[in-house]
Amino acid sequence: MTAIEKRMLTNKIVMILSTLSAFIGIAFLLWILSILIINGVSAINWEIFAFEGAPPGHEESGLKHALIGQLIIISTATAIGVPLGILGGTYLSEYGQQSKLANIIRDISDIMMSAPSIVIGSFIYAVVVIPMGHFSGWAGVIALTIIMIPIILRTTDDMLQLVPSTLREAAFALGAPKYKVIINIVYRGAKVGILTGILLGIARVAGETAPLLFTSFNDNFLSTDLNEPMASLTVTMYNYATSPYEDWQNIGWAAAFILSMFILGLNIIGRLLIMTRKGK
């Protein structure tokens, strides 16, 4: 067997193994999604959205408190994390560029993106929950914000660097100040990528359970006060799914289905935006 034939044989073997691995992964994914859809859809009804949590065996039991609590926590974390992430990414791309400080921030951001969320939850528990003396929605917001910021920061940094420098130079030549160049030229050129990073950041924190267990904890009743423990869909799903009561388990399946479809939808929108950007 010649060297070329050996390389061709090796290539075919690797291709077969790679394809087989991909099909195995897809099969497991479809298996999980099918079970989730079958059990989740069958558990969905109007009571899920109309009623708050109730004791086992109570017919008027739902996820209203958890859905509203999740919306409040995620919305507040987004309102704080998005501006900070975009401004941080803007500094790295437009001001820090390849300076030593900017590179250190990039390295720290990359480390934070890969850090286990339970570590961040434990940290916020130590520095926020314990000094306050109780769990709170604000602690959950801070934990999710810390998880979200590095994702948006790095995405913004990368997307702004893709904007051609000639556009900046042309604007500077016309006498535009730097902040106007960033707002009117650079941001507009990278808006699709920045929006994609925001959606991926929201999708990342929307499914987190561990940080909220250590921070906002949970509440079986509707609460909109961020200074007190607050219900969230992820923690409620965990509590219901691990309970020995069949009706609570069904509600847990409904929560899992709602949360999965929300995260899946955000990821699909993000991918479509990326494809739109590449197609231009």
Report whether 259 contacts 233 (CB < 8 A).
yes
Give the pLDDT of residue 59: 80
What does pTM read for this prediction? 0.88
Instruction: Taking residues 163-178, report their average pLDDT.
Output: 89
Confidence of residue 5 (pLDDT cuts 50, 70, 90): confident
Q: How far apart are CA 218 and CA 236, in angstroms?
A: 7
46-91 pLDDT per residue, tens:
989 999 888 888 888 889 999 999 999 999 999 999 999 999 999 9
Kindly report the backbone phi and psi dihedral angles of residue 176, in degrees, each rounded to the nearest multiple of 5, phi listed first.
Answer: -75, 135
pLDDT tens-digit map of 226-268: 999 999 999 999 999 899 999 899 999 999 999 999 988 888 8
Query: What are the pLDDT digits (tens) for 132-167?
Result: 999 999 999 999 999 999 999 999 999 999 999 898
- Answer yes or no: are the C-beta atoms of 134 and 229 closer than 8 Å: yes
How much of the chain, in percent, has pLDDT values that exceed 90? 62
**How many other β-carbons are positioned within 10 Å of the β-carbon of residue 170?**
13
Cα 265 to Cα 50: distance, rounded to the nearest angstrom: 23
Predicted pLDDT at 151: 93
